[in-house]
Amino acid sequence: MSLKDIWAKERSQRLIEIAERKLEVAQQRQETQAELRAIRQELDQEAQVLHTMLEDFVTNLHETGLAEKQQRQLENAERYKQVRTMLEEYVEALRLYEQQARQERLEEIASRKQEVLALKLEVLELQEQFSSERALMSQELTEKLQTFRNNLHNYVWGS
């Protein structure tokens, strides 16, 4: 097997490994995006349920009679305040959770980008190494050829 074939085989193997690593990173990125979409959908559904609950609560308040309304006005105001406070706390907690999840995903993506850059650097180093090895082997072959030519010349024409 020639040096060129060996080098091409090793290069091909490295390129295959790099392509596999890139594919893994792309798959992980897709999984991350799918997870974020699922989380957003879940948050939207929970917010919609809470919104519906709040609308039902307000509708119930309007349907009660004036006497009941006056009697429970303070009580309802306190409940409304509690529900509003709960909703605000829940929305804040959801916002913080989504922000934390987004930050974790960004850190993961940055980490994967670093891995890709490391792979690119490794490929460049290997290419440089192969290039220098090829130049060294070429020089050795040239020297051997020159020695062979000298020996042949001396053999044919005498020393």
Q: What is the tens place of the pLDDT at every residue in 96-143?
A: 999 999 999 999 999 999 999 999 999 999 999 999 999 999 999 999
Distance CA 156, CA 15 (A): 49
Distance CA 121, CA 111 (A): 15
The yes-or-no verdict on residue 66 having pLDDT over 60 is: no
Q: Which of 61-75, 123-137, 139-153 has the lowest mean pLDDT?
A: 61-75
Q: The whole model's pTM is what?
A: 0.37
Distance CA 53, CA 6 (A): 70
30: confidence class by pLDDT, cuts 50, 70, 90: very high
The yes-or-no verdict on residue 67 having pLDDT over 60 is: no
For the chain, domain boundaries: 3-152
The yes-or-no verdict on residue 68 having pLDDT over 90 is: no
Q: pLDDT: is 112 or 4 the higher one?
A: 112
DSSP string, 57-103: HHHHHHHS-HHHHHHHHHHHHHHHHHHHHHHHHHHHHHHHHHHHHHH
Q: What is the mean pLDDT of residues 26-39?
A: 92
Q: pLDDT: is 142 or 69 the higher one?
A: 142
Looking up tokens 């999984």, which residue turns up? 31
